[in-house]
């Protein structure tokens, strides 16, 4: 599949092509959803009757996605607090159990209040009014008119339970040890995403020049210039078939190597683990050079696929080919739960 600049082309994209694990997963599952998710701007010229609705849908979250987001927020807030407690005690002062328990309860009350406020805003929103919707919160269940009031208490409970499981697990003591002994520890702040910091420095990889590769781990540990640990929290359903080190962890390791200017893993130790919050099971291990070489090859292949959906396969201009080239998944199950199902039904190609 290849297209030239003589193909119909919508309005110019604002940014160059980007790769992330999420983006390629969407493309592989449904090309149409990929188009709606990352080339919504193209609808303004080609399909103005559904453009604004698609923009709203792009910002929707399902309740399960919302639970995952809030779990990450709460864990991050707690880890920043936990890190400060360790620093205080290293200076010879004590942080009492009473202070800790009270602080944890305050974090839970804060997240509960956030979720209640956002849920109510989403519920009362007039989704037919497309004015002033940027940066606002809404749930896909509310957009599609589902009655989900009864799901709010359990959603809040799941978020708080994820924190409780972490605190009760052996990972809590491991993290404390990292705080006490490591040269430095990075804790992500997902409430304020730093998109520049997410970029992987791939300029020295020829096939990835002019492509933004995005990745940001939840937690990173530096023991020395050649010894690292990467942790990534998962709030979704555990994949019982998962084995070894995930592609996501491999991308994080690649990012660290490139940032430090290393050409390979020779003399460098990187351990990566994914931790599932609902079970506290973990998957991962120490990365080998084959892992790094393999993930570079995979990203190059993925970007090659993404480029096939661009005019002249040009990642800098990043203009999508005609919408009819983005085919819809044949999976009825995926369509039934897709955020974009309302515009997809109106989308005639």
Residue-wise pLDDT tens digits, 300-338:
999 999 999 999 999 999 999 988 899 999 999 999 889
Q: Tokens for 138?
A: 């809404």
Domain coordinates in residue numbering, the chain: 63-168, 179-302
pLDDT at 236: 86
Tokens matching residue 153: 């208490």
Q: Read off the tokens for 255.
A: 């990012």
Say yes or no to pLDDT of 5 above 60. Answer: no
Q: What Cα–Cα distance (Å) separates residue 146 from each residue in 66, 150, 323?
A: 16, 11, 30
Q: Which DSSP symbol is given to 139? A: B
Average pLDDT over residues 4-16: 49
> What is the band of 132 on the pLDDT scale with cuts at 50, 70, 90?
low
Report the pLDDT averaged over residues 19-26. Answer: 95
Distance of alpha carbon 161 from alpha carbon 171, whole angstroms: 15
Residue 158 has pLDDT above 70, yes or no: yes
**Which pLDDT value is given to residue 11?**
45
**pLDDT at position 244:** 86
Share of the chain above pLDDT 90, in %: 73
43: pLDDT strictly greater than 80: yes
At 13 the pLDDT is 46
Q: Is the pLDDT of residue 152 over 50?
A: yes
| Of the listed ranges 9-13, 32-36, 181-185, 224-228, the one predicted with least confidence | 9-13
The pLDDT tens digits of the residues spanning 88-107 come to 999 999 999 999 999 999 99
- Check pLDDT > 80 for residue 57: yes
For residue 138, the model assigns a pLDDT of 86
pLDDT recorded at residue 10: 43
Bridge partners (DSSP) listed for residue 320: 310
List % helix, strand, coil for the chain (3-state, nearest 5).
50, 10, 35
Distance CA 27, CA 301 (A): 13
pLDDT of residue 148: 97
What does the pLDDT average to over 261-267?
89
> pLDDT class for 128, splitting at 50, 70, 90?
confident
Mean pLDDT for all residues in the chain:
90
DSSP 310: B
pLDDT at 348: 64
């Amino acid at each position: 599949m290849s297209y030239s600049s003589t193909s119909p082309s919508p309005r110019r994209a604002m940014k160059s092509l980007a790769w992330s694990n999420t983006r390629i997963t969407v493309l592989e599952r449904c090309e149409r959803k990929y188009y709606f998710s990352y080339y919504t701007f193209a609808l303004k010229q080609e399909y103005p009757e559904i453009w604004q609705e698609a923009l709203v849908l792009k910002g929707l979250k399902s309740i399960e996605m919302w639970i995952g987001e809030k779990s990450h927020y709460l864990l991050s807030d707690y880890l920043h607090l936990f890190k400060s407690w360790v620093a205080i005690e290293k200076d010879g002062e004590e942080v009492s159990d009473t202070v800790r328990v009270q602080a944890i309860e305050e974090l839970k009350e804060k997240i509960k209040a956030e979720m209640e406020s956002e849920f109510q805003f989403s519920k009362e929103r007039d989704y037919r009014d497309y004015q002033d919707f940027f940066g606002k919160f809404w749930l896909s269940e509310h957009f599609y008119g589902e009655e989900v009031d009864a799901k709010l208490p359990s959603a809040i409970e799941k978020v708080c339970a994820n924190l409780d499981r972490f605190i009760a697990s052996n990972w809590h003591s491991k993290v404390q040890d990292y705080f006490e002994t490591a040269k430095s520890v990075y804790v992500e702040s997902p409430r304020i995403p730093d998109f520049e910091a997410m970029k992987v420095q791939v300029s020295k990889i020829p096939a990835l020049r002019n492509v933004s590769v995005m990745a940001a781990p939840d937690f990173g540990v530096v023991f020395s210039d050649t010894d690292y640990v990467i942790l990534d929290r998962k709030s979704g359903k555990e994949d019982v078939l998962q084995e070894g080190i995930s592609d996501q962890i491999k991308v994080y390791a690649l990012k660290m190597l490139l940032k430090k200017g290393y050409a390979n893993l020779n003399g460098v130790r990187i351990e990566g683990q994914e931790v599932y919050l609902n079970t506290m099971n973990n998957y991962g291990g120490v990365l080998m050079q084959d892992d790094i070489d393999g993930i570079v090859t995979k990203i190059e292949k993925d970007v090659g696929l993404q480029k096939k959906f661009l005019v002249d396969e040009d990642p800098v201009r990043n203009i999508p080919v005609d919408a009819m080239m983005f085919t819809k998944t044949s999976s009825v199950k995926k369509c039934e739960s897709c955020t974009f199902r309302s515009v997809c039904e109106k989308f005639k190609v």
